[in-house]
Every structure is written in C-alpha cells, then in structure tokens.
Amino acid sequence: MARLVTLYSLQWGDLSLEDVCIKAKEFGYDGLELGLPDHLDVRQTDAEYYKGIKDLLGKYGLQLKTISSHLVGQAVCDRIDGRHKGILPDYIWGDGEPEGVRQRAAAELILTAKAAKALGVNTVVGFTGSPIWHLLYAFPPVPESMIEEGYKAFAHRFIPILDAFEKIGVRFALEVHPTEIAFDTFSARRALEAVDHHPAFGFNYDPSHLGYQRVDYVDFIYQFPERIFHVHMKDVYWSDTPKQVGVFGGHVPFGDPRRYWNFRSVGRGKINFEEIVRALNVIDYQGPLSIEWEDSAMDREHGARESCAFTKRIDFQASKHAFDAFFAKD
C-alpha cells in the first residue's frame, strides 16, 4: 500500500476546518496536516475538544498523522522584530519584548506536543528560527565563534523543549529551510550535533528549499535516514539563464517573474520526485507525503487537486524481493 497523501492546512487558514476537510476529501486526499494556529488551539485542555477534531476528520474519512507549528516555532530562536507581530497570535506577541516573545513561543511548542498526544499524533513539524541567519553572507567577516555561539543558543533554547517532547512521547521535525538554524545538509548536521542527537529531534524533509540552493536534495535523505520524521511535497522552479533577481530573492515578492526561483505546484517545477520516492523507499520512510501547496501563479484548488493526483501516481512501495531472485534455483 502506498503512503498516505495529506494536505497541509496552513495555506487554507482562511477557511474553517470543516471546509478544509470537505475540499481535501473532494480533491482526493487521505488526510490532513493541521496548521497552527488557524485550525488547532493547543491551549485547549478539554479532551472533548480534541475528540471533536478527530470526529470531524473521521466524518470525512480523513486521517491525522501530523500537526505543525511553523509560525510560533519561528519565534523561539529568532531575532524578534516587527515582522513577527504579523505571524504570531496576539497572546504570543504580547508587548513585543523579544525575550518574552521567545519564552511564550517555547511554552506554546510544549503545549503543541501535548495537543499532538491528545490527538493521537506523534510528530510535530515546525520551525526553530535562528539567531545567526543574518550572518549568512560573511561580510563583514564573521568569526567562527559567532556561529558557534548561535548553535549554542539554539541548543540552550531547544533542548528543554525536546526534553518535554520526549517525555510526552512526541517528536519535533524541523523543516530545513532558509531562516532556520538548519537550511542545508551541513547546517542540518550541525544542528543535530548541537542538541547532541536528541532522540526527539529530526527533520521535515521539503526538497523545494534545498533545490533552488543547489543542495543535493536526494542525498539529504541518505544522510539522515533515521531523522526524516515527515515529508512535505513541494516543487520549485529555478531558471537556467541569468535573471534580474538572484537566489537571495531581491526584496521582491514570491511569484515575481524576475526571480531566479519560485515555488511551483507539485510536478510543475524541477524537483525530481521519482528519485525522492526511491530514496524514501530505501530508508523505509512510511509516514505521509504532505502537500504544502505554494504556487503564486495558480489557483490553489486546481493546484491542490493536481498535486494530490501527481503524488499518488508517482508514489510506490519498495519491492520485498530482488527482481532477479526468481532466476536462482535451489
């Protein structure tokens, strides 16, 4: 049986959860990945609240394997400024004092693990933010000690969160992504080392964020076979010829045709999903393939529907025997 194909609900936050369920079922999805804060309030402590969510998904024949906290997670380790006010709930932003924001975001992540447990989910996908992303381009020259301090700061803030996750019985899957403490293979390994290979820490694999950086996104799977906790299916296109706006984005919005790269609906970019599926089979990843749909030039309902169909068509399970095993004779 092929893997479940789920729809990440964050890009559908303008709709009620039931409306998202109706559309996901109509589009052919097997389940949802619930995005916070629009479709789940982790401050709820009443068991009936979580039962109601499970019952709602069950009503439409949808499974729930993952919940995600990208927006809140971003604030845990970031250099907090006015940008965060636009993505955080008011009760996390508060008065905007940076350390208070970080502490409230960290507490919310732990509540998210508890909510996941209440929903019968063992994986929370999210961001960490980064205290050193602004040092990416090394000028003025960046001493290695500053980078090392950044990873120590990440570990200082996240190890207590990971300890809480482990105690609850839930894993945290960091989406490897620019602006996070891990954004390519090298930084992912360094982040893993910073938290001393904590058993509750792994990765949400999204090839789109690696592809346009020219990182070997298939090799990433082989580098971390035990740490791929979840998979996002998202495509990206990058130009083969020079553009006005380079890999850094040029302060122009997503979708601008002058950009070197833009996200695309699954199957319409340059990501080789065939090789990804084969690599996931090698590492025996059996979790869901979750569509995080982002294509500025396409109607989202059209895109969500075709992305589901594409993913179901391309996914397959590994063989349980070698094709030439039948040639051998006793």
What pLDDT does 50 receive? 98
- Token pair for residue 200? 């509750």
Residue 187, in any domain of the structure: yes
Is 101:78 a contact under the CB 8 Å cutoff? no
Is 139:179 a contact under the CB 8 Å cutoff? no
In the chain, how many domains are there? Answer: 1
Q: Report the phi/psi class of residue 21: left, alpha or beta, with left for phi > 0 and alpha for psi in -120 to 50.
A: alpha
Is 210:180 a contact under the CB 8 Å cutoff? no
Please tell me the pTM assigned to this model: 0.96
Residue 235, in any domain of the structure: yes
Torsion of CA 21, 272, 239, 126, to 10 degrees: 50
User: What does the mean pLDDT of the chain come to?
Assistant: 96
Residue 323, in any domain of the structure: no
- Token pair for residue 1? 């049986």
Residue 290 β-bridge partners: 6, 232
Q: What is the DSSP string of 229-245?
A: EEEEE-EEEE-SS--SB
Band of residue 319 on the pLDDT scale cut at 50, 70, 90: confident
What pLDDT does 251 receive? 95
Residue 330, in any domain of the structure: no
Average pLDDT over residues 240-253: 94
Q: Locate all alpha helices (DSSP H) within 214-320, ordered by sequence.
A: 217-223, 273-282, 300-314
The 10s digit of each residue's pLDDT in 282-310 is: 999 999 999 999 999 999 999 999 999 99
Cβ-based neighbour number of residue 111 at 10 Å: 18
Band of residue 69 on the pLDDT scale cut at 50, 70, 90: very high
What letter does residue 259 receive in the DSSP assignment?
Answer: B
Q: What is the percentage of the chain residues whose pLDDT exceeds 90?
A: 95
What pLDDT does 320 receive? 80
Residue 329, in any domain of the structure: no
Residue 326, in any domain of the structure: no
Name, in order, each residue with C-beta under 8 angstroms of 313's C-beta and a sequence gap of 6 or more: none
The 10s digit of each residue's pLDDT in 157-191 is: 999 999 999 999 999 999 999 999 999 999 999 99
Is 315:289 a contact under the CB 8 Å cutoff? yes
Cβ-based neighbour number of residue 66 at 10 Å: 28
Residue 244, in any domain of the structure: yes
Band of residue 224 on the pLDDT scale cut at 50, 70, 90: very high
Structural domain including 240 reads 5-318
The CATH number assigned to the domain holding 307 equals 3.20.20.150
Band of residue 329 on the pLDDT scale cut at 50, 70, 90: low
